[in-house]
Copies of this chain bind each other. A is one copy, B any other.
Amino acid sequence: MKAAPVQHPPVIKLHVLKDACAQCSARELCLPLGLSDDELQRLDEIVATRQKLKRGEHLYRYGDAFSAIYAIKVGFFKTDVITEDGRDHVTGFHMNGEILGMDGISGDAYTCNAIALEDSEVCVISFSDLEHLATLIPTLQRHFHRVMSREIVRDHGIMMLLGTLRAEERLVAFLLNLSQRYAARGYSPTEFHLRATRDEIGSYLGLKLETVSRGLSQLQDSGLIVVQQKYIQITAIDGLKKMLQHTQTC
């Protein structure tokens, strides 16, 4: 709910340097991918502000005026949509290097809520600035299009999950997806903390929280994972993968 920042060039130069894209650990997963040093610096210049959020805070809300997209620097977010009749549905979990807010472009207002599930920090990228810069740096334009396209492909995957998988398979797909994304960030692919509650996971997977809980217990009983509250350890990743390749019919 802050007012749009006035256009002072940032005053604290030291922070800018240390926060710059070039120094960011998420660089290889984020917008700067593939840019030259020179181009990177020009992108840096339009990332006017960074914003910190405490656990539970909204980055933006459904209906807020759209003016920026956000790159997650550190932290973990969920996005959810709400229907007229009050039902809500988690549309995604998002970690560092990923871009939030692209849903807002089409109607000049965000169409979902983005909520930090742990203390987080994002880079605020003015969308009009980004579009302008994209006309000057083809690599940036192309990469931004890839990022949007990747979001579409991701959504198709979730639709498939929701449309064709059974409860336990959905959980497995969810865990493997997290595992892979943690791996891509240099974290352990077999050991991590869920930041989301069973209820949030259930909403994301189209299941009730009890079903999520039962599913996790069952995977543990099968010796594939170890669960302790939000702590997850994958003890047989191949076993999990096999559960998804397993053709049910015939």
Contacts and interface: CB of A to CB of B under 8 A. Distances in A.
A111 interface: yes
A104 interface: yes
A36 interface: no
Interface of A: 81, 83-87, 89, 91, 102-107, 111-112, 131, 134-136, 138, 141-142, 145-153, 155-160, 162-164, 203-206, 244-247
A103 B163 contact: no
Contacts of A83: 160, 164, 244
Contact of A160 (B91, B104, B141, B156): B91
Nearest to A158: B159
A159 B162 contact: yes
A138 B135 CA distance: 8
B89 A163 contact: yes
A114 to B, nearest CB: 12
A107 B104 CA distance: 24
Contacts of A148: 102, 105, 145, 148-149, 152
A206 B206 CA distance: 11
A159 to B, nearest CB: 6
Given A103-B152, A107-B153, A156-B91, A203 B163 contact: yes
